[in-house]
Structure 1
Amino acid sequence: MGSASVQRVQAYVFGGMHSTAPSPLFLRDLHRRWAMRAGLRLYHVKLYTTRRYNRNLHGAASPAVPMPYAYVSPWRCLLLTCALLGLLSLSAVHAQPIAYTLTGQVLDDATGDPLPGATVQVAGTTTGAATDAEGTYELTARLEAGTYTLRYRFVGYQTAEREVTLGEESTVSLDPVRLRADVLGVDEVVVTGTGVPTERRQLGNAISTVDGQDMEQSTASSVDRALQGKIAGAQVQQNSGSPSGGISVRLRGASTVLGSADPLYIVDGVIINNDSPELIDLGGSAQNRLADLNPNDIERIEVVKGAAAAALYGSRANSGVVQIFTKQGEVGPPRVSFTTRAQTDAVRSTLPVNRAQNERGAFLDNSGDSLPDGQRRWDWQDFIFDRAYGTEQSLSVSGGSESTQYSISGAHRSNQGIIEGTHFRRVNGRLRLDQTLTDWAALSGTVSFARSTSQEVPNGGLNANYGALTGFIFGPNTFDPRANELGEFPNQGALANPVEVRERFDFAQETDRFRGNTSLSLTPLDGLNIDYLLGIDTYTQRATAFIPRGTSAPGLGSGFARRATQNQLQTNSDLNIRYRSFLRPRLDTDWRLATVRKRRRIRSTVRKPGAGVRGGAERHRHGRCE
C-alpha cells in the first residue's frame, strides 16, 4: 500500500506574533479586511502552485498533482505580508480624521450686537458649541478633510447655514455670522411633543410658544394668568377676583367625559402638580399650585393644544401639554438683574342695584311702596370693593465658565385684592447649576422653594351662608351694613352681612413648596443620547377659617372654626435613550426608548373643633406608580 504525505508550511505575522496555520484562507481574509478599512480594492492573484508527491513504499515518486495554492519558504511569505501591511497602514493613516478648531462670532443682523447662547452645529453630526457673552464660539471636532455645513441657531432668530472647507490647517477662523429675527417662528427649535430639539417647520402639529420676556412684561402674579391672550385658541379664565384665586386653562374644550380637562404641566422635564384643593369653603376661589412659580424665572413656554403630545407623555396629555423651561446660566462674568414694579387694580364694572325712588324722592320697597321715613337703599358694593395696590421685586445673578454655569434668583410679591381684606404674598428662591463633566457627559440640577400666604374673604356658595358676595346678591339693601357705635353689625336678611364678613371673619391659607430635579446627559457615541431625570415636587398647604361668636350671620351665633392641612409628595424618574442617524443631508431617523416612573402620595387632615369634632378627621390617599 502506498501512503501520501503533504508538506504545508505557512508563516504570517499578526500583532507582533510569529505563528503557523494550516490554511491560507485566514491570511487572505485578513488582507481583504485591511484593504476595505483603508478604502482600497484588493485583487487576489494566485502566485504560487504546489505539487503533491505520492510516494510508494520503495520511495519512488509518482506524477505530481497541481493544488490551488502553494506555500514556499516561510521567510518569503513573511516578507510579502509585511510589505502589504505597511502599504495598508500608510493608507489608513492618511484617512484618519483631523482635530479641527473652528472659531467665529454670531451677531444680530439688525443691531450688530453679539448673541450669547447661540448654538453652532456641524450639519449631519452631533458636534456643536455655544457662543459666550461676546457672541464668540470655539468648536472642536474630529473630521476628515472636506466640505461641511455649519448651522447657526438662536431662539427667536432664523437659522443660518454656511459651508466651510477643511484642509490641512487645523485651526480655521470664520467671518462673523449675522442672524435675522424670525417673525413667523418657523425656524424656532422646540422639544414638546417630540422629545428631541426639532425645528418648528419639521413638525406635523401646531405648537405655540411664549417667550420669557413676555412673561416678565406681564403684570400677572402667576404663570397661568400670564398665558391669557398669548395662546391662540386657549381659554384662560379667572375664577374669582381674589389675588390668590385659581385660573382655569382649557386647551381642548371646557369639558371631558373622563378625567380632567386641565393640561399636563411640566417644568424642566418634571411633571408638577397643579391641583386646586379647596381645604376650606371659600365659594369657588380655590388656589392653583402654579401660583407658586415665579414668572421671572421662565425662559419660555411651549404649548401643545392637540393630542400630538400623547404619543410622548401618554394619556395624561390628552388635554394638552404646557411645558415650562426655566432660565439657566450662561458663559461669562456674573450678570446681575434687578426688577421692581408697582401695579394697581380696580373693579371694571359693578352690578346695577335696586335704588328705585318715587316722584317725591322716597325710596321704594320691592312692592313699590315707599320705605319708612329714614330708610333708604344702599349700594353695598361701595363697602365691598376698593382699589388694590401691589409691588414686586426680583433679583437674579447668572454666569459661569465653560464647564460650570449657575443661575440664582429670588423674588418677592405682595398684592392686594379688589375685595377689601384680601391679600396675597409670595417669596421665591431658586438655584440652578449646569456642570460639564467630560466631552460626553453633563450634569445639571435645580432646587427651588416658594412660600405663599393669602388672606381670604369667603364668597359663599350653595352650602354656605357666610359669604360676602352671596350676602350682597341675595340680601336686602334697605339698611346700612356698617357697624354702629357699639361695633355691632345689623342684619335684616337671611344671609351674612357682607361688611361684617370682610371685617370680622378670618380666613387664611399658606403653602410651603419645594421642587428639585437633577439630570444626567450622556453622549457616549455619535448620535446616541442617554438622559436620566430624577425630580421631586412636594408641598404642604394649610388653611384656617374662624368666625367669632356673636356674629349676626343666621345659624352662626356660636361661631365656627376649621383647620385643614394637606401634604403632597410627587416623584418622577425618567430614562430616555435616543439614537439619531443622518442618512442624507436632509434625511435622518430618530429612535427612542423611554421609561417613566411616577409616584404620588397625598395626606389630608381636617379639624373642626368649633363644629363639635374632637381631634379632627384624617384621610390618607396614596398615588400609584406609572
Structure 2
Amino acid sequence: MRRRAIFAAVLFAGSSLLGPALGAQQTGNGTIAGKVTDAPSGGPLESVTIAVQGTQLGAITGPDGTYRIARVPNGSHVVTARRIGFGAGTRTVTTTDGQTTTVDFALQTSAVNLQEVVVTGTAGNQTRAAQGAVVSTINAAEVTTVAPVSNVTQVLEGRIAGVNVTAGAGTTGTASRINIRGAASISLSNAPLVFIDGIRTFSGQRNDVAIGGSAHGLERLGGQAVSALNDLSPDDIESIEVVKGPAAATLYGADASAGVIQIITKKGRLGGRSFRQNITTEWNQIQPNFTPLPIYGTCSAADVGPGGAALCQGKTAGTPISDNPLQREGVFRNGNLGLLDYSGQGGGESFGYFVSADASNEYGTAPSNYYLRRTGRAHINWVTTPALGVDASIGVSRNDYRLPQGDDANYGYLTQQYALSDIFGVTVGPNGTRSGGLSTPVAGLEAIQNELTTVRFTPTAQIRYTPLAWFTNRLTIGGDISSTHGVTFFPKNSQSWYNGDQANGYVEDVQDPIHIYTVDYL
C-alpha cells in the first residue's frame, strides 16, 4: 500500500515536470466558440458538456446553447459535445493564434448512448462502450426539476433496471433499503458502496438507531433506521452513476461486490461569463390515506352485569362490541413538507463556481415525528493551464430527526391497538365520551422521545493533469466526517405508562462519530 502511494506520488510529480517542458514547445493560443442545438427542432440545448480531447479545457453551454473555450493551444484538436439523452457530437478543428474558430453541433436524441462519458472508475473521459462494467446513469438535475423528490433514495426509485429501493417504514425520515440486482451475500452487507465526487462516504444506517434495541443503539425503534443518504440535498446532485453486479469489485475492490453508487454534484459553468441563480420554495400536505381498523370483543354474562365492562352495560351476553382508540384519539393527522432552496452557478472562461443552501422541514402523520434538514455546499473548478485542472468543494449539513416507536416495538401505535389493547378496559364518561383501551395511553406514547442530530462535513479536492493526450492523471483527496448524537427518553410518571427499565423513567444517550478519508490516484 505504501509502495503504491510512493509510486503514484513520483509518477504524478514526474508528469508535472514533463508537462511544462512539452507545453513550452507550443506557442500561441486560439479560441473555440459555437452553439449546440437539438437536431430535430433546431432549438438551443443547455447543459451540454464541450471538451477538447487531450486537455483539461472545456465548457458547458448556457440557456441559449452557446459556449466559448479560450486558451486553446494552436494546432489540430478533437472537440466533443455530450449530454445525457443525446448522441455525442465530434468535430476536428484547427486553432490559430488569436483567432476564434466556430464549431457548432446539432445533437440527435438517443435512448441508449454508448458514447456517453462515465466518471466511475476512470481517470479520463471514458465512454460507456469502453467501460468493462455495466454503468447506468440518472440525470438527477432533470429528475428533481420534474418530480416531487425530497431525498436521494427517491431519485433512484424506479429509474434504473435492477436497482430496488424498499421502504422499511412509512415514518418520516426513516431509511430505505437499496439492493442492486438482489442479494449478493447471505452473511455480509448487501448495501452498495456510495461515493460522492470520488470520495467514499458512509451511506448505511446510523448505528445510533439499533434495530430491536441492540447494544450501543437507541432502544426499541421497531425495525426503523435512519440513512446517511438523507444528509445530502437532491437539488445539489447533477447525475448519479450506478455500477451493477460483481463487476464493481474490479473497480473498487471486494467491498463493492454489491454494487457502487457514484453521486456527481453540481459544478460551476466554464466557458463564458455567466451567473445563474435559482430559488425554489415548496409546501406539500401529507394526508393519511387509511383508517385504523377497530378492535372487537364479545360481551360475556359477567361483562353485562353490574360493575362489568362499560361498553357492555345495557347489552345482552353474546353482543359484539367495537372501538377504535387510535381514531378516537386522532393519532394520525395531516403532516406537511416545507422546502426552501437556493443555488447560484456561474463562471468565466477558465473557472466556474456553484453555491447552494437548502432548508427542509418534514412533519409526519404520526405524533412526535419530524425530519429537519439543513445543507450547504460550495464548489469551485479552475483550469489553470490547458493541461491542468483543479476542483475543490465543501459540503456541510445538519439533520434532526424525531421518530416514534415502530410497529415492531411494544410502544408502537399499531402494536398497542392490535396486540396490547383491552376493549373491556374502555371507560365511558357521563357525556358518552370514551377513553382508555390501550395498555399505554396515547399521551404516554407521544411522550416518548427518540431524537437524533447529525452534523456532517465533506471536503473534496481533485487535481487533473494531462501532459499528453494519452497520459491522464487524477488525484482525489477528501473525507466524510460526521457526528451523530441520539437520545431516547421515557418520562417518569405516576400512571404506570411503561414497564421494565422504563417504568420509573429512562434516558439513553448515544454518540457515534464516523470519519472516512480518501486518497486516490488514477
TM-score bucket (shorter structure): 0.7 to 0.9
Cα distance in 2, alignment partners of residues 200 and 349 from structure 1: 46
Cα distance in 1, alignment partners of residues 275 and 258 from structure 2: 41
Where relative contact order (Cα < 8 A, 6+ residues apart) is larger, the structure is: 2
SS at match of 1:312: helix
Letter in 2 for 1:398: Q
The number of residues matched between the two structures is 460
Cα distance in 2, alignment partners of residues 398 and 132 from structure 1: 13
In 2 relative to 1, CA 280–126 (structure 1 residues): closer, same or farther, beyond 3 Å?
same
517, 521, 524: which one aligns with 2:464: 521
250, 270, 293: which one aligns with 2:199: 270
The answer on whether the counterparts of 1:496 and 1:554 sit within 8 Å (CA) in structure 2 is no
Match of residue 191 from structure 1:
119
Match of residue 554 from structure 1:
499
Letter in 2 for 1:137: R
Match of residue 564 from structure 1:
510
Offset of residue 101 of structure 1: 4.7
Match of residue 441 from structure 1:
388
Offset of residue 267 of structure 1: 0.3
Cα distance in 2, alignment partners of residues 484 and 272 from structure 1: 57
Deviates more, 1:270-279 or 1:345-354: 345-354
Cα distance in 2, alignment partners of residues 482 and 404 from structure 1: 72
Is 2:37 the counterpart of 1:107? Answer: yes
Match of residue 395 from structure 1:
342
Q: What TM-score, normalized by structure 2, do the two folds share?
A: 0.79
Cα distance in 1, alignment partners of residues 106 and 284 from structure 2: 39
SS at match of 1:544: strand
Match of residue 602 from structure 1:
none
Offset of residue 538 of structure 1: 1.2
Match of residue 301 from structure 1:
240
Match of residue 60 from structure 1:
none
The answer on whether the counterparts of 1:193 and 1:311 sit within 8 Å (CA) in structure 2 is no
Paired residues for 1:200-239 under 5 Å:
200-212=128-140, 213-239=142-168
| Unmatched 5+ stretches in structure 2 | 1-24, 210-216, 305-310
The answer on whether the counterparts of 2:175 and 2:227 sit within 8 Å (CA) in structure 1 is yes
Is 2:354 the counterpart of 1:423? Answer: no
The answer on whether the counterparts of 1:223 and 1:295 sit within 8 Å (CA) in structure 2 is yes
The answer on whether the counterparts of 2:115 and 2:127 sit within 8 Å (CA) in structure 1 is yes
Cα distance in 2, alignment partners of residues 439 and 175 from structure 1: 19
RMSD: 3.3
524, 536, 540: which one aligns with 2:483: 540
Q: What is the CA deviation profile of residues 300-347 of structure 1, one whole-angstrom value per residue up to 9, with x for unaligned ones?
A: 001112222211100111000110000001133221101111222233
Cα distance in 2, alignment partners of residues 170 and 429 from structure 1: 41
The answer on whether the counterparts of 1:491 and 1:552 sit within 8 Å (CA) in structure 2 is no
SS at match of 1:308: helix
The answer on whether the counterparts of 1:491 and 1:553 sit within 8 Å (CA) in structure 2 is no
Match of residue 336 from structure 1:
277
Cα distance in 2, alignment partners of residues 483 and 408 from structure 1: 60
Match of residue 440 from structure 2:
496
Offset of residue 208 of structure 1: 1.9
Offset of residue 379 of structure 1: 2.1
In 2 relative to 1, CA 175–303 (structure 1 residues): closer, same or farther, beyond 3 Å?
closer
Cα distance in 1, alignment partners of residues 404 and 413 from structure 2: 7
The answer on whether the counterparts of 1:106 and 1:118 sit within 8 Å (CA) in structure 2 is no
Match of residue 280 from structure 1:
218
Offset of residue 97 of structure 1: 9.5
In 2 relative to 1, CA 490–458 (structure 1 residues): closer, same or farther, beyond 3 Å?
same
Letter in 1 for 2:499: P
In 2 relative to 1, CA 482–408 (structure 1 residues): closer, same or farther, beyond 3 Å?
farther
In 2 relative to 1, CA 224–401 (structure 1 residues): closer, same or farther, beyond 3 Å?
same
Is 2:188 the counterpart of 1:242? Answer: no
| Identity within the alignment, % | 24
The answer on whether the counterparts of 1:535 and 1:572 sit within 8 Å (CA) in structure 2 is yes
Q: What is the CA deviation profile of residues 363-418 of structure 1, one whole-angstrom value per residue up to 9, with x for unaligned ones?
A: 9xxxxxx9444995222342332221111110001111122211110010001112
Letter in 1 for 2:466: T
The answer on whether the counterparts of 2:52 and 2:79 sit within 8 Å (CA) in structure 1 is yes
Offset of residue 272 of structure 1: 0.2
Letter in 2 for 1:536: G
Q: What TM-score, normalized by structure 1, do the two folds share?
A: 0.67
Is 2:351 the counterpart of 1:404? Answer: yes
Is 2:249 the counterpart of 1:310? Answer: yes
10, 31, 50: which one aligns with 1:119: 50
SS at match of 2:459: strand
Q: What is the CA deviation profile of residues 14-40 of structure 1, one whole-angstrom value per residue up to 9, with x for unaligned ones?
A: xxxxxxxxxxxxxxxxxxxxxxxxxxx
Cα distance in 2, alignment partners of residues 528 and 373 from structure 1: 91
Paired residues for 1:117-156 under 5 Å:
117-121=48-52, 125-126=54-55, 129-131=58-60, 133=62, 135-138=66-69, 140-143=72-75, 150-156=79-85
Match of residue 173 from structure 1:
101
Offset of residue 479 of structure 1: 6.0
- Compare CA radii of gyration and give the structure with the larger one: 1
503, 506, 511: which one aligns with 2:449: 506
